[in-house]
Structure 1
Amino acid sequence: MARDAPSIEAYGDGGFRLSSEQGADARHEGSLLIVADQARAWGVTALAELTVASLAPVFEAGRAEVEFLLLGVGARNAQPPRAVRDALAAAGLGLEFMDTPAAARLYNVLTSEGRRLACALIAV
């Protein structure tokens, strides 16, 4: 994986199983936010709860750490709120959104390529 980015080994049952290059596996209950290769719990449980404020760590990291946000919106693909899309564009950050299972799989591919991304995944 790129740098020390965790790998998403599994998803479902309301959480994620991550592993690191050091071989440590960890189960994260609930939604997940990965910024600057650091995974943390994320309080967003549904797309309707997604706000600019909920993505504060992404904006704080800025373009130095993040090219774009990979957003897993839940079980079905749907467009994120306009305010979120507009704020990311204004900050010069790209946005890719899709259902959470697809986003979890794509995250591993993109980090293995060394892409600088933030990943926000709503648990399914």
Structure 2
Amino acid sequence: MKLTPTQFGGAVAVDGYGPGFFRVGGQVMQGAVLVTASGGTAWGGLDDRAPLLALAGQVDVLFIGMGADVAHAPADLVAALREGGVAVESMASPTAARTYNVTLSEGRRVACALLPL
């Protein structure tokens, strides 16, 4: 699905998604991705915690897309991120991508970690 473009002031948005992929800043990325205002990178999923914990001090909110369904992120991961000052919202990946884009367009310090559909 292609997402509707908006103004991001040079920040990188999630442009679209489909089975097994996300399009970030115009580039198709297979599998799980971590997206910040500066770009998207491959992410190893919920067991790959180091890149998420490294967001402390850089972002205020992390949207975690749990794939096609709504699910909760692991409680210990959420606790570690909150301890580092990062609020966490878990939702389905399509919702997380859209919410990230809207919040990014407001100029807020956000990121999203998306598991594929």
What TM-score do you get using the length of structure 2 for normalisation? 0.85
Q: State the distance in 2 between where 1:7 and 1:35 align.
A: 8
Match of 1:55 in 2: 49
1:118 is aligned to 2:94 = no
Counterpart in the other structure of 2:44: 43
Moved over 4 A (4+): none
Q: Distance in 2 between matches of 1:35 and 1:96?
A: 15
Separation in 2 of the partners of 1:2 and 1:58?
22
Provide the C-alpha distance between the structure 2 equivalents of 1:36 and 1:111, rounded to a whole number of angstroms: 7
Does residue 82 of structure 1 match 2:92? Answer: no
Gaps of 5+ in 2: 1-6
Partner of 1:73: 66
Hey, what does 1:11 align to over in structure 2?
17
Does the CA-based 8 Å contact 1:97-1:103 persist in structure 2?
Answer: yes
Amino acid of the structure 1 residue aligned with 2:14: I
- Displacement after TM superposition at 1:2 (Å): 4.1
C-alpha distance 8-35 of structure 1, shift in aligned 2 (>3 A): closer
- Length-normalised TM-score, structure 1: 0.80
Number of equivalenced pairs: 111
- Structure 1 gaps, min length 5: 20-24, 45-49
Distance in structure 1 (CA, Å) of the matches to 2:32 and 2:106:
24
Match of 1:105 among 90, 93, 98: 98
Q: CA deviation at 1:61?
A: 3.3
Structure 1 residues 3 and 37 mapped into 2: Cα distance closer, same or farther (>3 Å)? farther
- Higher share of residues assigned helix: 1
Asked if structure 2 preserves the Cα contact closer than 8 Å seen for 1:68 and 1:116, the reply is yes
